[in-house]
A and B are shown apart, each in its own frame.
Chain A
Amino acid sequence: MKAWLPSLLRLALVVLLVAFVTNPGWFEPLLKPLTENNAPAIYNQGSLLTLTLLHLRTVLIATVAATIVAVALAILVTRPAGAEFLPLSRSLVNIGQTFPPVAVLALAVPAVGFGEKPTLIALFLYGLLPIFENALTGLTTLPGNVMEAARGAGMTGWQRLIKVELPLSAPIILGGIRLSVVISLATATIGSTVAAKTLGEVIIAGLLSNNLAFVLQGGLIVAALAVLIYDGLSAIERYTARRMGQETGD
């Protein structure tokens, strides 16, 4: 009985989320008590659906870019030719993480202008560390006997990377991507302080006009997205881990 309960809750959350972003009007009575002076209860300066999709698009672009760069970097520094960059790359990515997102956003504005670009830069920088760290862990902790076997089978370095190393470390790398996506989903809202079209726009409009209904709906949509995507990626991660387990078990 317990096994289906979480799935049911997730399904309910998906239905609720889709209903809210497509037909926010249905929920107006619920949010009305949070407003004052007859202010609108549902964000009225743009469609919630469009903003949600734009929010997801921003996170997707930044995460894909961060994944490509982080995994490529991790592969590079774990090859003999790039080994001398390993300690330095680690400290650089660590330093990147100490830059507050607001500062990155604001500093990127003079270089690339207002809008989506500074947000992408900030999300990209923030997404790098978890993916890079996990990719490094994955690539450096491969079982020695498997690597020996691959070498013994006459695989070239390239074949070993594509057919053995990357598939085996895929679950760990996916774990990094999951962390990075959840951080990015929340951080993207800050992008609206520099005029990026994300769900942060709804929250900031609420803060500026003292309308808590706006703050709540913006925050809840982002939180729901984060919980659902986190769960979804965890499921993919378990699936790949199981597959890898079976393949190495053969």
Chain B
Amino acid sequence: MNIRFDKLGIVIAAIVAYAAFFASFATFRANRIVPGEARSIFEALPPTIGPLLLAIVVVAAIIALLKTPLLLRLAASVVALAALAILIGVAGTFLTPAGNTFARISPASGLWLLIFAFTLLLADVLTRLNLSPLGRVGVLVIATLAIGLLLISGQWDSLSILKEYANRADSFWAEGSKHITLALGSLAAAVIIGLPLGILCHRVERLRAGVLNVLNIVQTIPSIALFGLLIVPLGWVAAHVPGAAALGIRGIGTAPAFVALFLYSLLPVVANTVVGLAGVPRAANDAARGMGMTDRQRLFGVEFPLAFPVILTGIRIVLVQNIGLATIAALIGGGGFGVFVFQGVGQTAMDLVLLGAVPTVALAFAAAIILDAIIEMTATKRRVETA
């Protein structure tokens, strides 16, 4: 028989071999800030389950290593990831001494590497399957549901990150909604101001270079400095403009964070609007003019729909960037998931850092997938219509 190896599979199998046999699976700590002790797969799981997990992981790695059908690879990656996700919860319960509320169990490097390896396999399969935009969103929804189900079922409750969550459940959701409000609100403001500004820059050539240069320079100011610098003008507004303070405008807190995110968001929106409008074929504009369309009709009926995918790309950049940048708002009292990250760094409690970082990464990732799907759908729709 002719055995053929998959190139990526060799990489994956190597990572799996190292992670399963040489790296630790879980970390045990007597309390939340002391250094941890490593536990291997056999030590972290009950005697019957440890070898089972090892068998699943090894078989999945062999499937990845050889040239196998795509669907089999898909199944291998999904089964391996599901087993890892469920069994780390089992390890948590197994390793926690009965009645001990101080002990912390967290995933260790070996588990993260295994997850990385099989996610790589899954990503490769999904890329090769060439899913439609809706299909990709579907995969995202299924993954979200599966993780949500695991969270609700309490399977992971014995893990340290969820113990941190249990201590802060209320503030977690409050900071979370603040984070999303900051990211989406500043995006909405940037679109409302940036689109007309972009259209203006497109029509008035003299304005274009100036506006884009100023916005470019704003982007070079480091985020933490911009957040800090806005404290002065907003403090002044709060003190001197009647009604501003009542609206919640203050020198520190959410207002400067909102304005800073808004300023960073303007460049991608304005620049992409200008590029999108500039890319509208001259023939389309001439035809519209020939049909006797007014400037306004041309803008909304022709130019804008044609430039839409490019403008959306700008919005995608802004949204992903804002979700990440909103973490820095915590430094000036603006709230958001960054609160947990910086508290965690301050207390050297990594589980607390994870509690802030994991939702941020998940949000940014989901936003990127959803917007990419929308961009692709509008772009193909346009091609079909113009064809």
Using CB atoms and an 8 Å cutoff, list the residues of chain A in contact with chain B: 34, 82, 84-85, 87-88, 91-92, 94-95, 97-103, 106-107, 109-111, 182, 185-187, 189-190, 193-194, 199-200, 203-204, 206-207, 212, 215-216, 218-220, 222-223, 226-227, 230
Contacts and interface: CB of A to CB of B under 8 A. Distances in A.
B253 to A, nearest CB: 13
Contacts of B8: 84-85, 88
Contacts of A190: 222-224, 328
Contact of A100 (B128, B331, B360): B360
Most buried by A among B109, B123, B345, B360: B345
Interface in B195-237: 217, 219-229, 231-232
B228 A215 contact: yes
A186 B223 contact: yes
Contacts of B354: 107
B123 A97 contact: no
Contact of B320 (A98, A207, A220): A98
Contacts of B353: 106-107, 109
Most buried by B among A91, A95, A182: A95
Given A207-B224, A218-B225, A106 B368 contact: no
A200 B224 contact: yes
B324 A95 contact: no
A200 B120 CA distance: 35
A84 B124 CA distance: 10
Please classify the interface of chain B as helix (H, G, I), strand (E, B), loop, or mixed, using the class held by over half of its residues. helix
Nearest to B341: A106
B350 A193 contact: no
21 contacts: A88-B123, A98-B367, A99-B364, A100-B357, A101-B324, A102-B324, A103-B357, A106-B353, A107-B353, A182-B219, A186-B220, A187-B222, A189-B224, A203-B224, A204-B331, A212-B229, A215-B225, A216-B229, A218-B222, A218-B225, A223-B217
A84 B127 CA distance: 11
Nearest to B11: A85
A243 to B, nearest CB: 26
A206 B128 CA distance: 50
Contact of B345 (A91, A106, A206): A106
Contacts of A222: 220-222, 225
Contact of B225 (A34, A100, A219, A230): A219
Interface of B: 7-8, 109, 120, 123-124, 127-128, 217, 219-229, 231-232, 320, 323-325, 327-328, 331-332, 338, 341-342, 344-345, 350, 353-354, 356-357, 360-361, 364-365, 367-368
List the 8 closest pairs (A to B, CB-CB), nearest first: A219-B225, A100-B324, A226-B220, A215-B228, A103-B357, A189-B222, A98-B364, A186-B222
Please classify the interface of chain A as helix (H, G, I), strand (E, B), loop, or mixed, using the class held by over half of its residues. helix
A223 B331 contact: no
Given A193-B224, A194-B345, 13 more contacts: A84-B8, A95-B368, A98-B324, A98-B367, A98-B368, A100-B357, A185-B222, A186-B221, A189-B223, A189-B224, A203-B225, A219-B228, A223-B221
Contacts of A223: 217, 220-222, 225
Given A189-B224, A223-B220, A84 B364 contact: no
A189 B123 CA distance: 33
B308 to A, nearest CB: 22
A206 B360 contact: no
Most buried by B among A103, A111, A189: A103
Contacts of A212: 228-229, 231-232
A99 B353 CA distance: 14
